[in-house]
């Protein structure tokens, strides 16, 4: 059909959401939206302005001027705050450590949901893959394809530790579990909502996980 296809993917940290969604989007000729990047970029912006990330009112006030831009072409991914390219900086441990503080503020989430929906509406490719924590449930509950991407805690920690240098595997593991625990209080991304397909990547390699997602999209849409 000629309709714009919306693919929503949620899951915990290290399940493979970002890398798998981007590769699936590339294979499908779709756009790719990393929603976590917006929360991370806001954390970067708030820290840069010298605002305490635990001061919810100050964070809400900062939202008004938040100059956020994201690249949604899977082959040209970038994240910018004003003129500053923060694509790499938002992955730093100092951001990961505080991002949940701002993501738990309801007024921040409301604004982010609007932002994610406006990016989906502006997509001019045949479809868009958006990934995060509340995409299948809050941002796009009407998406044609909704997927919960999971993996065992052990697999997720091993994948994350392999990416991060300068921090011990046990530190990375502790931070990942405490962030998931905090994030889970705000939105449920550990259980699939009604109509959401679960893809468990524990025993799948990267290419197999991408294929599982692409096959689900093709079987739903074609
Ligand atoms: O890639 P990783 O799983 O480490 O995290 P991310 O997707 O970059 O998201 C960073 C943080 O943003 C999460 O820990 C959540 O606090 C928040 N987030 C959210 O609350 N809702 C989303 N849809 C996406 C991210
Ligand atoms: O976005 P999220 O935190 O869910 O995960 P990610 O950053 O996309 O993936 C974490 C790492 O796991 C990446 O280096 C992926 O290549 C890897 N991965 C894997 O080894 N096997 C899979 N089946 C899926 C992802």
pLDDT digits (tens, 9 = 90+) for 116-156: 999 999 999 999 999 999 999 999 999 999 999 999 999 99
The answer to whether residues 7 and 129 touch, using CB atoms and an 8 Å cutoff, is: yes
Which atom of ligand 2 approaches the CA of 36 most closely?
Answer: 1
Percent of the chain scoring above 90 in pLDDT: 90
Residue 2 predicted with pLDDT over 80: no
| Token output for 210 | 């991408």
What's the gap in Å between 184 CA and the centre of ligand 2? 19
* Local confidence band at 167 (pLDDT 50, 70, 90 cut-offs): confident
What's the gap in Å between 121 CA and the centre of ligand 1? 21
The answer to whether residues 9 and 136 touch, using CB atoms and an 8 Å cutoff, is: yes
Residue 10's beta-bridge partner residues?
132, 148
ipTM of the complex: 0.98
**13 marked as binding residue:** yes
Q: Nearest-5° angle of CA 119, CA 123, CA 125?
A: 155
Helix, strand, coil percentages (3-state) for the chain, rounded to 5, are 50, 15, 35
Closest residue by CA, ligand 1 atom 2: 13
Q: Evaluate: CB of 131 within 6 angstroms of ligand 1.
A: no
- Over the range 115-137, which residues count as b (16 or more CB within 10 Å of their CB) and which as e? bbeebbeebebebbbbbbbbbbb
Please state, in angstroms and rounded to a whole number, the distance separating the CA atoms of residues 137 and 131.
Answer: 12
What's the gap in Å between 12 CA and the centre of ligand 1? 8
> Is this model's pTM higher than 0.90 or not?
yes
């Amino acid at each position: 059909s000629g309709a714009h296809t919306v693919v929503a993917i949620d899951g915990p940290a290290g399940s493979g959401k970002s890398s798998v969604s981007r590769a699936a989007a590339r294979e499908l000729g779709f756009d790719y939206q990393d929603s976590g990047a917006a929360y991370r970029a806001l954390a970067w912006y708030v820290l840069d302005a010298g605002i305490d990330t635990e001061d919810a009112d100050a964070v809400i006030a900062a939202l008004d001027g938040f100059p956020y831009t994201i690249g949604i072409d899977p082959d040209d991914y970038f994240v910018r705050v004003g003129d500053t390219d923060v694509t790499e900086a938002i992955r730093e441990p100092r951001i990961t450590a505080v991002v949940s503080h701002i993501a738990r503020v309801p007024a921040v989430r409301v604004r982010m949901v609007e932002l994610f929906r406006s990016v989906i509406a502006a997509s001019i490719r045949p479809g868009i893959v958006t990934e995060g924590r509340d995409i299948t449930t809050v941002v796009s509950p009407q998406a044609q394809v909704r997927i919960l991407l999971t993996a065992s805690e052990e697999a997720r920690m091993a994948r994350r530790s392999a990416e991060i240098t300068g921090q011990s595997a046990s530190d990375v593991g502790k931070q990942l579990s405490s962030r998931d625990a905090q994030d889970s209080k705000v939105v449920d991304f550990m259980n699939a909502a009604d109509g959401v397909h679960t893809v468990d990547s524990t025993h799948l390699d990267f290419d197999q996980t991408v294929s599982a997602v692409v096959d689900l999209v093709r079987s739903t849409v074609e």
